[in-house]
């Protein structure tokens, strides 16, 4: 890592290799709101269910989730290939469960979706719900009410869904 300027105490353009910081870093003015003491990255296994908890789950050929957490901000990427919804209730909403951290209770969050062989009208977005660790997909319909996608939107066992999503945790 190269640090070009660190509060003027190291001179111009010092170079550091393999820097380890114990505790955290203050940014800018040393105020506690600018203190970074939490960085984490890892993997998780997302699942598709027909209920917020319990319920039935899809069988997924490949289900991978990746995350990076910097302070309260969590960035996730989900990859689900060859989704089979046999045994799920087709009229129920789809819940993408298993986020690595619960979403903060102060707001909804919106993410992007790429889907192949998924039935929707205009375009779809991922929507997170305050205080939960799941995402639902919403069909954004022009000049009409948006619709939460149900399990029936997955039309084939070769459906693939990719989601990128950012949210705050408590």
3-state secondary structure of 151: helix
3-state secondary structure of 32: helix
The rounded distance, in Å, linking the Cα atoms of 88 and 94 is 10
Residues in the chain: 170
Is 1's pLDDT higher than 70? no
**How far is the CA of 135 from the CAs of 8, 43, 53, 68, 75, in angstroms?**
44, 17, 12, 17, 13
The answer to whether 111 and 126 have CB atoms below 8 angstroms apart is yes
More confident residue, 19 or 91: 91
Q: What is the 3-state secondary structure (H, E, C) of 17-62?
A: CCCCCCCCEECCCCCHHHEECCEEEEEECCEEECCCCCCCECEEEE
Q: Which residue has the tokens 């129920």?
A: 92
**How far is the CA of 39 from the CAs of 23, 24, 36, 87, 98, in angstroms?**
11, 10, 8, 39, 20
pTM of the model: 0.83
96-130 pLDDT, tens digit each: 999 999 999 988 899 999 999 999 989 999 999 99
14-65 pLDDT, tens digit each: 566 666 777 777 766 656 667 777 899 999 999 999 999 999 999 999 999 9
The rounded distance, in Å, linking the Cα atoms of 111 and 125 is 6
């Amino acid at each position: 890592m190269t640090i070009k300027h660190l509060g003027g105490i190291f001179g111009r353009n010092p170079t550091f290799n393999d820097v380890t910081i114990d505790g955290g870093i203050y940014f800018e003015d040393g105020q506690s709101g600018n203190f970074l003491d939490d960085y984490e990255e890892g993997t998780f296994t997302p699942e598709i269910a027909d209920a917020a908890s319990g319920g039935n789950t899809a069988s997924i050929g490949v289900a991978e989730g990746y995350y990076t957490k910097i302070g309260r901000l969590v960035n996730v990427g989900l990859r689900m290939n060859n989704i089979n919804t046999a045994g799920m209730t087709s009229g129920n909403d789809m819940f993408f469960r298993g986020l690595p951290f619960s979403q903060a209770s102060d707001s909804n969050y919106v993410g992007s979706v790429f889907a192949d062989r998924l039935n929707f009208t205009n375009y779809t977005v991922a929507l997170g719900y305050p205080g939960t660790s799941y995402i639902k997909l919403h069909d954004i319909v022009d000049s009409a009410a948006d619709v939460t996608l149900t399990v029936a939107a997955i039309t084939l066992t070769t459906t693939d869904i990719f989601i990128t999503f950012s949210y705050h945790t408590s």
